[in-house]
A and B are shown apart, each in its own frame.
Chain A
Amino acid sequence: MEFWDNIIHTALLGTDKRQLRLQDVNEDLAAAFTSINESGDKEEQYLNMAAVAFNYRKCGNQPLKKNVLQTVAEAETKVYCSAATVGVLNDIISIESQSLFGLWIKECVGANQIIQPEYIPLLFDLGMKYKWLQQEILTVSGNRGKWLLPFNEAWKFDTTVADESLWQTGTVEQRRCFLKELRKTAPAKAMALLQQTWPLENANTKTELLKQLKVNIGDEDVAWLQQLLSEKGQKVKDETLVLLKQIPISNIVQLYWSILKQSISIRKEKGFLGLVSKDVIEIKLADIEDEAIFKTGIEKISSEKGVVENDFIIYQLIAAVPPGLLKTHYQLSYSEIIERFNKSAETKYFVSAFGIAANTFKDVEMLRAVLAVSADQFYPEALLLLPLAESEQYAREFLGSQQSADAVLHYLVTYGKQQWSLQITIDIFKHTAKNNYTYNRLFYKHNILLFAADVLPELPQFAPDEVYAKEAWVKSSGFIAQLINLRTQTLKAF
């Protein structure tokens, strides 16, 4: 539209500098131009001509003629979820609970259903926010979603299929994730893959990949890992040591044990005319011939005031040795070992080291022995190691105390994997109701999957006495009820 460009060009410069000429307009407009230029000032002439050209342009508008090829999405093979189910999803999205959103998506995947096409863009937008749900979101979007995804560059979904070729061709992050998943299901195969490509990896990648071996670590990994201690990179060596320290038969653990057993002796001593005997623990750090152990993570000086250097070294050795070795060596049960250490003020210090060892070597029996004598100290690891009912019972003992409740609750939500019992949910809400500044909507939204559903009728009874806190709880409990209802509806919907 050359004539329109000339109209614009004149407008940009102004009629003082440029005026429309007959050759600026096309043949159709020439007669109008001549007629308009017969009267009025130059601005009026321009405006009249531009107005005619404007109308001429609009009336002559034609659509663009172009055959643009458009691909078509494949037909769906799965069924759509119901309108009511989508209604639940809309409610979940509007209260912005990522936990409930994740639940809805996973339930939809589990039910082998897909979502109606108009909601797919919304789910893809949320997939950019909740990246860990991308694969599931893509699944519930069906064939329409697969077709739609490439059109929008803002939807950067990882659509790579996690197969063995990914190990050869993927990015470090993709390979890390692949190894992590493989290690869970086929640990030996994961190890074999890593060994194959090990010489080709750089130090940073080696470190990242080694970290994935923590899961299912075992005796069969020792030989190869011990070779890695001669690697050049310090980070690789450090990560290897972390792994070896978790395997009882590794050289490093055995070295610690050999020093430890020389440093602790438990013997019986006769007393009171030989009629009674008592156990005596003697703790004295054995001579350490090889200073190299201090390069394996054993420190000489404690950050805690008043702790003797040698005691601190022994403490670390106890924490790094499988409790089972002491049991066999001293021919004592775990309870007997802990009881003896717990008896005197000098040896009590070491009890918590057994707790650390129990956690490292997943020794539940030793953990129970430690917990039995540690009523005033909270061991977060217990929440992971103990069976659910027992760990909840343990946590409840500390939830009642204002001092420890926040820390316990922190670990409960951090480690929480499955729904809590009614009892502990009640204890938790008793605490959160009193602390509405710390435990706000964000806390409830984030942890909704952990709360027992049958706590609903109990909620009003947790209202604190103070007027303001009481009002705040009324609002919070209403919100909790809404979240629990949405969870129930989600579970029922599929």
Chain B
Amino acid sequence: MNFTEDQILALAPDESSKKAGKDLANPNKWVSKGVNDLAIWGECQGSGSKPYQTQIDITDTAFKCSCPSRKFPCRHGLGLMLLYSRNKATFTTPEMPAWVNEWISKRAARDDKKTDKEEKPVDAVAQAKRHENREKKVADGIEELLLWIKDIVRNGIINLPEKPYSFWEQIAKRMIDAQAPGLAAMVKALGQVSFFKDAWQTEFLDQLLNIYIVISAYKNKETLSASLVNDVRSSIGFTQSQEELKEQAGLTDTWLVLGKQVTEDDNLTVEKYWLHAAGSGQAALILQFIVRGQGGQLSLTPGMFIEATLVFYSSAMPLRAIIKKQLTTAAAPLNNVFSGWQEISETETDVDAKLPFTQVKPYVVNQVTPVMHEKSWWLADKNNDLIRVNENFKNIWKLVAISGGKPLTTAVVGKENVYEPIGAWHNETYKSL
């Protein structure tokens, strides 16, 4: 395990955990510690009489600790990992104590057990009835939403910035009642458009049309391909069974975690991990939803390479995936990076033609330079093609500093003509932004 401090700290669930983890990266806090090919472990003396037992499965980067914290990873896990990255030589014990051995063995046995799990008998009639009811509810909800959209179009959008929060909230709640949470989120996003910005009209209309395309597609689903119907249904809020997905073979490759984006809404934290397959060049999006007070199960950090099998959700342009099997691995050279913006533009056109309501996507683009043009930052490729950097991108100065005016192979997330850098290669090392 060769994580940098920045990578380890990127695993922290919040700022206070980072701080506490750093405090615990102190040899004096650890009563015992050890490492072997499978795990890192240590006993941390807390305020209680018994030290906390902290362990990290290094084959697929998983944490366990006997402390009562509900954060994941907890500060002890982060502290132990930081301490190991700083002072590997002080981890001299290779024999796993019983409590580590037990956990590691259980993890190894877990996957086998899963396959052995007996499937519960399904009441097919009841299930069909439930599905039918839901489809009807969704269809009714969509009719209401369409009326609401038409009202907006009829009256004009000029006065929308003055609308109260409840204007958006009410229709979003109606979509929840109609069991269409995807549409609810899309409608909610309409109310979150930056109405104070000059170009809010385009931002608003883009989102409104995305909703309109999804509901129109749903109404005409009989004419669409099965994979596109799945995209439409996913956008509306129908889920695909992860258990069923895991039955599929998936795509095995060495994946680089390009970046992690976190958004918080009420009690839900959504973590987006952008991945790029070193061999095939396939992009992937792994989502992790964390309800407040609960820990997430994924421990991916930008710049980390994993040898993994990913199964993609059924889609006309597969992007969202789940990790079926994962092992931490060494860095690998990346294939299939984009030569410049023109190639990305062509790819985007292809994607939009197949999936007209797509969201942002990640790309790794070869040798682009951050340049200042008309008081904004752009990324210029070797053909002098320029794409604007998202003006809300916070780490532009870090990227400019790393570049020093020279081109860098850069990972970006975005669409159309605005992208946000999420990482760049500098001196052959991937730097997360």
Contact = CB atoms under 8 A, between A and B. Distances in A.
Contacts of A148: 397, 400-401, 404
A42 B155 CA distance: 12
Interface string B373-400: 1000010110011111000000001101
* Chain B interface category by residue count: 35 or more
A217 to B, nearest CB: 46
B107 interface: no
B153 A43 contact: yes
A71 B403 CA distance: 11
B90 interface: no
A73 interface: yes
Contact of A11 (B157, B385, B386): B157
A17 B23 CA distance: 64
A64 B154 CA distance: 35
Contacts of B69: none
B356 A50 contact: no
Interface stretch (A84-92, A206-214, A445-453): A84-92
A26 to B, nearest CB: 17
A58 B352 contact: yes
Given A11-B156, A14-B153, A117 B402 contact: yes
A46 B151 CA distance: 12
Interface in A1-18: 4, 7-8, 11-17
Interface string A40-61: 0111101110110011001111
B41 to A, nearest CB: 22
Interface in B20-66: 22-23, 26
B373 A485 contact: no
A64 B387 contact: yes
Contacts of A121: 397-398, 400-401
Interface stretch (B202-210, B244-252, B305-313, B314-322): B202-210
B372 to A, nearest CB: 7
A151 B398 CA distance: 12
A83 interface: yes
* Chain A interface category by residue count: 35 or more
A31 B22 CA distance: 64
Contact of B386 (A50, A58, A66, A84): A66
B405 A54 contact: no
A147 B404 contact: yes
B125 interface: no
Contacts of B23: 482
B372 A43 contact: no
Contacts of B378: 64, 68
Contact of B397 (A41, A48, A62, A152): A152
Contacts of A42: 154
A144 B373 contact: no
B156 A147 contact: no
A272 B369 CA distance: 101
A389 B320 CA distance: 69
Interface string A64-96: 111110111100000000011001001100100
Contact of A13 (B158, B209, B398, B402): B158
15 contacts: A8-B205, A43-B153, A47-B209, A51-B216, A54-B206, A63-B386, A63-B417, A64-B378, A64-B386, A65-B386, A72-B404, A73-B404, A87-B86, A118-B401, A144-B404
Interface of A: 4, 7-8, 11-17, 41-44, 46-48, 50-51, 54-55, 58-68, 70-73, 83-84, 87, 90-91, 94, 117-118, 120-121, 124, 144, 147-148, 151-152, 482, 485
Given A43-B149, A55-B352, A62-B345, 8 more contacts: A47-B209, A51-B212, A60-B349, A64-B417, A66-B386, A68-B378, A73-B405, A121-B398
